[in-house]
A and B are shown apart, each in its own frame.
Chain A
């Protein structure tokens, strides 16, 4: 782009010859026929690409010859093509959201639990479980409960009731025994900001339980009745699997719009889209 605005030289204006106009129109009509014909050939996913390529060829003929872009200043072509670049940005970045909902890239509640536990009798504490729980705690809990579990995390200031300080004996809504901590993790505490973490695998939840227990002044023990109350059979080796299935955001949005909060059970029944989502999940592997 040069500053040429006082250039008095008479640049000859190109006038498109009639014959060229007619030939271009014939080419466009032929390409239209090609487009229609190709649409009947089954190329699978390539049908779309081929169709768009032919359309672009036609558009280029119209722009280049009818609109004289081929012979005009380069700057006009640059201006016109720039618009498509930004349109491309729009579609690509929007697709990173719309087409990737519900896929998993980081650890979080959408991990599917396979039901196989790495820890035997995970309802009993062990140094490995506590270490495992500490790692999960740093990801899931510190925002509210604080780095040391003192109930002083950055989000805590805004919460009422206040997040529990795990180092003291006062305030535990459900009690401080491991089975009671486990129950809190599974159900959350209604009327507070403590959500249900039932979507975490059992190993993670038992690890958290034992870690949180270890932060207190004494380690409490569960009785057989305590364990039975949360569905654990102490004669078995494994705690089994009771991970709640979570649903993808787009389906959650739909259900919120359609039936409000009535069905907050997080099941797949009656939702064909959810079934297909679960099938897609099955075919992938997840890092743990």
Chain B
């Protein structure tokens, strides 16, 4: 199917799939599908939280000492970055829903940019840790802590797994938003059909929610 390139207002007519009774039906179904997908993400990521919480309960002194080695300022900065990016995402989706494609593209572009900021901050955090020898348990060589905190390396294993998987989801989200930018530029997103953009927005907000829990758990309360 060919699509006229029209960045102002999408004029592509969307045909809903044959097994739905209306576009509305299709939209509500897609939305519910997204929420069921959220359930799977909660359980997957949540299991990591469960492991973390249990080890923290078992070795509170070690985890307390370890968490002090994290940079609270950078973590807080990243939290701000993600919150603002969620706002720009929602503004972008709203613009697409109203047919204001130019604003939608701007907002989505800013969201991706903020995603890059997040990753750059993470890069600085990680490279500092690698440099200091604060790695996963088997490779941990940092020795600036007292001997009684023998489970400190485990904290860092959790830190890398949880923030690493989160960063992976940020990257996936940025790719999805890029794909949405392409579709908007192709004119495929209109006030009558904006399902993909809204659902990609949900994904991005979920990534934000996970960080909302990660930040205090790892950086503040260890």
Measured CB to CB, the residues of A under 8 A from B are 5-8, 10-11, 13, 15-18, 21-22, 24-25, 28-29, 32, 35-36, 39, 47-48, 51-52, 54-55, 58-59, 62-63, 66-67, 72-73, 75-76, 79-80, 82-84, 86-87, 90-91, 94-95, 98-99, 272
Contacts and interface: CB of A to CB of B under 8 A. Distances in A.
Interface stretch (B77-85, B121-129, B158-166, B168-176): B77-85
Interface in B193-222: 201-202, 205-206, 208-209, 212-213, 215-217, 220-221
B108 to A, nearest CB: 14
Interface of B is mostly: helix
A58 B82 CA distance: 12
Contact of B202 (A36, A39, A51, A67): A67
> What class of interface size applies to chain B in its complex with A?
35 or more
B54 A11 contact: no
B38 interface: yes
B132 interface: no
A240 to B, nearest CB: 35
Contacts of B93: 16
B80 A16 contact: no
Contacts of B98: 15
Contacts of A79: 32, 35-36, 38-39
List of 3 A-B pairs having minimum Cβ-Cβ separation, nearest first = A25-B87, A39-B220, A83-B42
19 contacts: A5-B25, A11-B24, A13-B97, A25-B86, A29-B80, A35-B216, A36-B72, A55-B217, A59-B213, A62-B205, A62-B209, A67-B202, A67-B206, A76-B31, A79-B36, A86-B43, A87-B46, A94-B54, A95-B54
B53 interface: yes
Contact of A5 (B21, B35, B39, B84): B21
Interface of A is mostly: helix
Contacts of A98: 54, 57-58
A82 B206 CA distance: 16
Tell me which of A18, A54, A82, A272 has the highest count of chain B C-beta atoms within 10 A of its own C-beta: A18
A83 B24 CA distance: 26
B2 interface: no
B212 A59 contact: yes
Given A5-B21, A11-B24, A36-B72, A99 B57 contact: yes
Nearest to A79: B35
Tell me which of B39, B43, B89, B201 has the highest count of chain A C-beta atoms within 10 A of its own C-beta: B39
B205 A67 contact: yes
B135 interface: no
A272 B86 contact: no
Contacts of A7: 24-25
B205 A87 contact: no
B209 A47 contact: no
B146 to A, nearest CB: 12
Given A32-B80, A91-B54, A18 B42 contact: no
A83 B57 contact: no
Nearest to B79: A32
Given A8-B21, A36-B72, A95-B57, A21 B91 contact: yes
Tell me which of A11, A25, A66 has the highest count of chain B C-beta atoms within 10 A of its own C-beta: A66
Contacts of B209: 59, 62-63
Contacts of B208: 62
A7 to B, nearest CB: 8
